[in-house]
Structure 1
Amino acid sequence: MKLQPLFSSLALALTLACAPAHAATGPGVSWQAAAADADIDRAFAQAKAEKKPVLLYWGAKWCPPCNQLKATLFNRADFIEQSKAFVAVGIDGDAPGAQKLGTRFKVRGYPTLILFSPAGHEITRLPGEADAAQVMKVLQLGLSSGRPVKAVLADARAGRKLGANEWRLLGFYGWETDEQQLLPAAERPATLAQLARASEGADAETATRLWLKSIGALADGKTADPAQLPRLRAVLADAEQARVQMDVLTNEAPDLVKALTQAAGEARRLLVAEFDAALKRLNEDVTLSRADRLNALQGRIELARLDSAKDDPHPARIPAALLAEAREQAGKANRDVTDGYERQAVVTEAAHLLGRAGLWKESDELLKSALARSHSPYYLMSQLGGNAKKQGKTADALRWYEEAFNKSEGPATRLQWGSNYLGALVELSPEDTARIEKTAAQLFAEAEKDPGAFYERSERSLKKVATLLAGWSKTPAQAAALGRLKAQLDGVCGKLDGSDAKARAACQGLMAPAARKA
């Protein structure tokens, strides 16, 4: 089935909550910048008139998964060719008003991809965690169907017959970025399990994917029927099946193992060994991107950490050979990557897995060596702050978090990085009242200048600030600082557009808990 006729009959919106229009655009794709409802409305009107899809791209340039998409999906020849048949719209999450658009499209996680009809109806959310070839196939499915996934799900739950492609649309739906558009989060595991059973016989790969996701979605501490263990072992033993389910296996390896085996015993030992072998094959699969291969290596490290505390900075029982592989592959990735987008995805992933392996020196050195070549060095600085904090290096942690905030760019990003810095101050240096007040005051001053400060990511950052301050205020000096900050925020709220009831309510509600406590 060719994509061209499909694109001419439907509108597509891929909402990626992780890259700005100016930085996210892949070579050969003509993106239109948008920062307000009027821009989006104009794009959909154009798409409807021309019977073209709309590709909406929303995010921030620092986000590693988004940079991964730029390095693997948006530069594909087939994607670039098909982009000529739709209206491509890029929304920089740091543009004025961008966070309001996030509310309109109900997106939070980075990245989120959404397919819309020409009339603006949501068709499906695409799996940003899948590899580029799979995402292209899901685009094809969504376009050929034209039916909202909500309607497809309703039919599936009612026991109506679905075609294989409709089942695949459900299997590859972006459940992680659903934001409860289809289901309350609590209902997801049982619903995915129901769909897995219902899809048996229609499409084996989809049934397996839905089943794996239903197990991975179980709440921490909940277990699955151990009778299902042979099914997982069969997937792991089959190289072709494991490759198809790559993203689920690499991202959810520890959850799958813990759900299907007891905390200790022969069954778990055998499953971990089989899982490790499957992930090793994926790690060595040159048809996968560097980031995906490193993700498989991290999955192996997470399995080796199963008996360690969740955040133990020095996990025990990681085999020396696995540590050697982590060092070698991280260094090779740093040497070999030349594309700036791929570097942001790969180096940050490599540094993270080194830290998870307890190789903090190597992780720090990798991040420091990459600072000068990163288009968003503040992200790496934040990682360095996190590394230092986990190692108990308080002064280094605060220095890196502060530098990351100072170097961060864009209003939404600065509020997020600033709230992270404030969190580190409150946790690691709560007695530094002057520094904490100064940082919070700066964030409120920046929020005053940002029309989208009380929407989506920015609102969540400010809520974090308010919560931190409420829990921090214990001494008379801290209470006085909190009073001054509340007065400053009251001034910010008073200057908001009176017609924007949502923003005013969000602003006025920020410090209410702190005021009640005082």
Structure 2
Amino acid sequence: MKTIVLALSLLVVCSFSFARLSDGKAHLKLKGSQIVASVDDGFHFNKDAPAALVMGEESIDAVKKDAKEFVFDATKAQKKTFTVNYYVCDDKNTVCEAHEEKFQITNGKLVAPSGATATVAAKAASDAKVVEAPLKKNKHGFYEDSFHAALKLAAKEKKLLLVDFNAPWCPSCIRLESEAFGEPEFIQATEKFIKLSLNVDKPALKDISKKYGIKGIPTMIVMNAKGEELTRILDFKPAPVLAKEIAIFQASNKATLTELRKKADAGDLDARKVLADQSYAALKFEDVVKWLVPTGEQSLLLANSEIRVAESAFDKDKKNAADYKKTFEKWIAIFPHSIDAIEWRPDLMKLMKGESKEVSAEVKKIGAENIAEIQNLLGNEKARAETFAVNKFGDMTGFEKAELLSQQVETYKLMNETKKSEESAAVLAKEVATFDLSVERPGQVLVALPYIKAANMKKDAQEWLEKLLKANPDSDVYLMKLVGFHMREKQFTQALPYAEKVAVMKSDSALYYQRILADVLKELKQKEKAMDVINKALAMPEAKLESNKSVVTGLQDLKKSL
């Protein structure tokens, strides 16, 4: 599990050149006429997000969507250039990153095409006409989804714009809504801003997300009335922390990124450090390295960025394993007691083990060092607080011990110490029992769920999802999470009532929800009912919308399979 607590947005038309948490964790192989996608331990596919094979103007939904495996029908993709889109999350369900890969099928293998052109989805997004809703505030004083109107208002009132890029399914976004935006500290700190909330899932807003390079949500960007970025804040932070960061910005000279780059290029070290911090918030790790290395600064910011860059190079070419290993060793030696190092060591152990089931003496030594560091922090409250206080992203308050214990479980597994791993999981279960969770803080509950599951408390995880649904009966988010929970557990009978309920809700995703219901009915061998759902769905007005083309294709393919 990672302490970078964020949930990344669904930007299917973007391709990313920097190292991200999930880069290299998914693997696609051609098996007959199907493309089978698998994912490494510690990660899973996002079943609630779109996943499709796109070729030309045709988009084909994944024919199978499990947490650890997606399957795409490539029958029609022979001798064509096509794109596969999907999303990979870490097992905390706090990181969810968009992936888009272009392929051709050559000699029975998936290969990257040369000189591939932009996908139809990308072209459609760039050509799309944005139709905005009139300005209207939500309960926290944010205007919703009206970017250009908000810019005009900011110009008229001579104010800065605070834009929150978010999505309804994102745990950290939910935390901001329920734990920060309504707090007095945040309200006071932002009273001089025009505040705007943008749902990155909405097709009409995707070009705006792309323009500002939104790779992770929640991302808050402060910009002037010209739309020029001044600063950005990534991930959930408590209201007092957000208020402090906003106050620091307000006291600055409010330079644009373009102005800062000019200063940095002229040798201004302070400008370089600000740009490095902003690049990290934008998940541009190569830029962090570029700006920080000349300063001579050795920081966790630089450490994490160098490791991500080395990881990206390794994912592209396994011959870079030695450099990747040296990068880990360098920064573990410099920051041996950090929570970052506690997370780096298991990654280093995995790298060194490779496909081998045997554990070398060197790997055991690294594991033993990690266990010692974890035990020290578990037994020293002051040291634990100081260690987690320097965490760059997210807020782990209340989850510090659980994070350490989850790392201990993972470390013992990598050492092939099964009994000790199980004992650690039992201790984690006791820690989970102390969590102060409430449906009034739903995002916090979603952050806790992976720990609950890691402690083998699946029944408790289910009960919390049911509590969230009871507290938010009109939300399709928790209905879909319960559908997904039961489907992952192969409990299709339990999934059915939730799938039926979400299928009749008014939503932009109404057509997709029909597809989910049909999937559940198919698994229950209720083919006639599944066929009826599909036929009614295909007759819906939404089925004629271009934006739902991939869902329609998925429904048609499902119909053929019945």
TM over 0.5: yes
* Residue 231 (str. 1) matches residue 331 (str. 2): yes
Residue type matched to 1:304 in 2? Answer: V
Structure 2 partner of 1:182:
none
Whether the aligned pair in 1 keeps the contact of 2:150 and 2:196 (CA below 8 Å) is yes
How far, CA to CA, are the matches of 1:42 and 1:282 in structure 2?
Answer: 49
Amino acid in the other structure paired with 1:81 = Q
- Structure-2 change in CA distance of 1:83 and 1:62 (3 Å): same
Higher strand share: 2
2:540 partner letter:
A
CA RMSD of aligned residues (A): 4.7
Query: Normalising by structure 2, what TM-score?
Result: 0.57
Match of 1:363 among 458, 461, 467: 461
Matched, 1:411 2:524: no
Structure 2 unpaired stretches of 5+: 1-7, 11-132
Contact kept in structure 2, 1:116 and 1:123, CA below 8 Å: yes
Do 1:388 and 1:396's aligned partners in 2 also have CA atoms closer than 8 Å? yes
Q: State the match for 1:126 in structure 2.
A: 233
Which position in structure 2 is the counterpart of 1:41?
148
Report if the CA contact (8 A) 1:283-1:293 is conserved. no
Shift in Å at residue 110 of structure 1? 3.6
| 1:197 aligned partner | 293
Secondary structure of the equivalent of 1:225? helix
| Cα deviations by residue, 1:136-172 (Å, 9 ceiling, x for unpaired) | 565466663644446756986xx65243354244334
Matched, 1:112 2:215: no
Residues 423-443 of structure 1: per-residue CA shift (max 9 Å, x gap):
6566x4587365156257537
Relative contact order higher in (CA < 8 Å, ≥ 6 apart): 2
Per the alignment, do residues 236 and 366 of structure 1 end up closer, same or farther by CA in structure 2, a change over 3 Å counting? farther
Cα distance in 1 for partners of 2:403, 2:539 equals: 38
Aligned to 2:276: 170
Q: Does 1:73 align with 2:73?
A: no
Specify the code of the residue in structure 2 equivalent to 1:210: S
Equivalent in the alignment of 1:325: 428
Pair 72,58 (structure 1): closer, same or farther in 2 beyond 3 Å: same
Deviation at 1:52, TM superposition (A): 0.9
Q: Which has the higher helix share?
A: 1
AA partner of residue 479 (structure 2): M
State the alpha-carbon separation in 2 of the partners of residues 207 and 134 from structure 1: 22
Instruction: Write the deviation string for residues 452-494 of structure 1: whole angstroms up to 9, x where unpaired.
Output: x75xxxx4xx46524634654655xx5xxxxxxxxxxxxxxxx
Shift in Å at residue 71 of structure 1? 3.9
Change in CA separation of 1:431 and 1:254 when aligned onto 2, cut-off 3 Å: farther
Q: Distance in 2 between matches of 1:61 and 1:316?
A: 40
Equivalent position amino acid for 1:301 in 2: S
Q: 1:200 corresponds to which letter in structure 2?
A: G
1:442 is aligned to 537
Please name the residue that 1:266 is paired with: 364
Say whether the 8 Å CA contact 1:301–1:318 is kept in structure 2.
no
Cα distance in 1 for residues equivalent to 2:258 and 2:525 = 48
Counterpart contact for 2:176–2:236, Cα < 8 Å: no
Give yes or no for contact 1:236–1:278 (8 Å, CA) kept in 2: no
Cα distance change of structure 1 residues 255 and 433 upon mapping to structure 2, 3 Å threshold:
farther
Deviation at 1:65, TM superposition (A): 1.3
Once the two structures are superposed, what CA deviation does each residue of 1:16-56 show, in whole Å capped at 9, x if it has no partner?
Answer: 979x9989744xxx33x3444xxx33322232233211123
| 1:383 counterpart residue number | 481
Distance across 2 between alignment mates of 1:443 and 1:218: 45
CA distance in 1, matches of 2:372, 2:538: 49
In structure 2, the residue matched to 1:345 is 443
1:392 aligns with 2:490: yes
Q: CA deviation at 1:346?
A: 1.8
Q: 1:50 aligns with which of 152, 157, 177?
A: 157
| Secondary structure in 2 matching 1:55 | strand
Does the C-alpha gap of structure 1 residues 189 and 168 become closer, same or farther in structure 2, counting only changes over 3 Å? Answer: closer
Cα pair 1:326 1:354 within 8 Å, conserved? yes
Letter in 1 for 2:449: A
Q: Distance in 2 between matches of 1:154 and 1:260?
A: 40
Residues 234-249 of structure 1 correspond to what in structure 2 (within 5 A)? 234-238=334-338, 242=339
